[in-house]
Amino acid sequence: METDGNSTHPSRRLFTIAAASTAASWIMTACGPKRLYEAPKERLRAAIKEMESKYSKSHGKKVTVSDAGPIPGVEFAYALDISRCIGCRRCVYACVAENNQSREPQIQWIRVMSMEKDKGVDFSHANAYYNPEEVPQEGHFYVPVGCQHCENPPCTKVCPTGATWVERDGIVVIDYDWCIGCRYCMAACPYGARHFNWEEPTIPDQEFNPNTHYLGNRPRTKGVVEKCTFCIQRARAGRYPACVEVCPVGARKFGNLLDKDSEIRYIIEHKRVLVLKEELNTVPRFFYFYAT
């Protein structure tokens, strides 16, 4: 070891200051919030500003990214009338358009399963690729399946980086900037609700929906997982999800589970209601029912 005799040398002092400040900023970022999940309001705002300018540039139009949080006293739930659904798949395409799902390769958050009436709700005999001249097809009924927004979701439990979680209003969301794309959540989901960007997603600029939410339909990159968010950008602004609006037979119902006078509560209390794969104890917030 040599003795440290000339510590006042200017370049050395400069170096010390630079090194110390680099280390300090490094430690601060390291210990500070990393995921959008725990980002404080002002940091989230800054991140969203950045997203807005980035997306506006890449899609050639003004893109807004909402950071609307959960509304106190609201827990969303969904109900789908199996006896009404005609299997037209309008919900599938409305969802694709609203939520900026990739057109090539195709990603669809809703899968409509065609089932045979004499077999009942049975996925081992279901067919997602039905393509008759006309729906509904004789002897068939339809069960559209998307994210069930479980109260006890197996997908969020398994995520190794904590990139997916349940919001206070019951919506299961993903932080696309934190997801590493390991797809453990996809293996864990009993409803096939999670979809992976196997390649760079593409959407023509004119079809891109510029009204986005940071936990919802903002653009995704290749290599991350995405899923239904109950149209979080709409739901938190007091609007119905796109699939509810587009359904031509009114089979889809959506509302606040905590509001005693809501339609969703009426359905749960007065109709025959079922949830998919009840035995797995996922406790879905997505109910299926028979109105007639």
CA distance 209 to 219: 10
In the complex with other proteins, which residue's Cβ is closer, 24 or 237? 24
In the complex with other proteins, which residue's Cβ is closer, 124 or 292? 124
CA–CA distance from 275 to each of 10, 143, 234, 281 (Å)?
Answer: 71, 12, 24, 10
Least Å distance between CB 90 and other proteins?
20
Least Å distance between CB 61 and other proteins?
26
Q: Which two tokens stand for residue 214?
A: 């940071």
Least Å distance between CB 1 and other proteins?
10
State the amino acid at position 56 in one-letter form.
S
CA–CA distance from 9 to each of 3, 17, 19, 216 (Å)?
Answer: 14, 12, 15, 54
In the complex with other proteins, which residue's Cβ is closer, 189 or 257? 189
Least Å distance between CB 16 and other proteins?
24
In the complex with other proteins, which residue's Cβ is closer, 210 or 223? 223
Binding residues vs other proteins (CB under 8 A) = 29-31, 34-35, 105, 111, 113, 122-126, 128, 145, 154, 157-163, 178-184, 186-192, 194-200, 221-225, 280-281
